Amino acid sequence: MKSLRAALLLLGVFTASSPLAATGAETTAPAGAVVATFAGGCFWCMEPPFDRLDGVLSTTSGYIGGHTRNPTYQEVVAGASGHAEAVQITYDPRRIDYAELLDVFWRNIDPLTANRQFCDAGNQYRAAIFYHDEEQKRLAEASRQKLAASQRFKQPIVTEIVAADTFYPAEDYHQDYYRKNPVRYKFYRYGCGRDKRLEELWGSSG
């Protein structure tokens, strides 16, 4: 079943006439900055909660975890590239730490569903934490264990924690989509049932 965004694309809703190709390079971070990478379904929807945080310097939508080099959006949404849609966050560790980012990540995903987030199905929409060093791995695993031990959910947590490999920034028209196209973004987000499900999982405060 095609995702809501794919259906909108076929209907010609997107305005980009010449999308830029993914570059295959990690985003350049200022001196002292640190990078974190999370997948939580639609990358449009994962940028806003991190952009709001003091200490986050930038967010970049892209693709990671697959076998296709320099993937395009069309290749990723087709599901054969192995890549997940993800957001890479550059942050100042003096103002915000990785544990805080993890907390925001969990409350913006459905940790109980494998190879799907909300209305979007397929391994390209899997939820995952892509760690960049052993400390991130330790903190990620500890946060998942803490959530499981809280007994908040009856079902098991299936969110992956895996080593980060090459991150491919998505085409330019995907970056900051919620700012560039607020009406279409809200239509997609509401139609996908994201906020309704998040409230069921986490409560109205997120």
Q: Which residues are catalytic?
A: 42
Note the pTM of the prediction, 2 decimals. 0.88
Kindly report the CATH class assigned to 24-202: alpha beta
Comparison of pLDDT for 2 and 118, the residue scoring more: 118
Residues 27-67: pLDDT tens digits?
456 789 999 999 999 999 999 999 999 999 999 999 999 99
Residues 124-149: pLDDT tens digits?
999 999 999 999 999 999 999 999 99
Residue with tokens 């997948």: 39
Please say whether the dihedral angle defined by the alpha carbons of residues 9, 11, 14 and 17, taken in this order, is positive or negative. positive
Give the per-residue pLDDT at 29: 62
Residue 94 near residue 32 (C-beta atoms within 8 A): yes
Domain boundaries, the chain: 24-202
Residues 166-202: pLDDT tens digits?
999 999 999 999 999 999 999 999 999 999 999 999 9
Neighbour tally for 72: CB within 10 Å: 17
Give the per-residue pLDDT at 20: 38
Q: What residues have CB less than 8 Å from 55, skipping those under 6 apart?
A: 91, 92, 93, 94, 95, 96
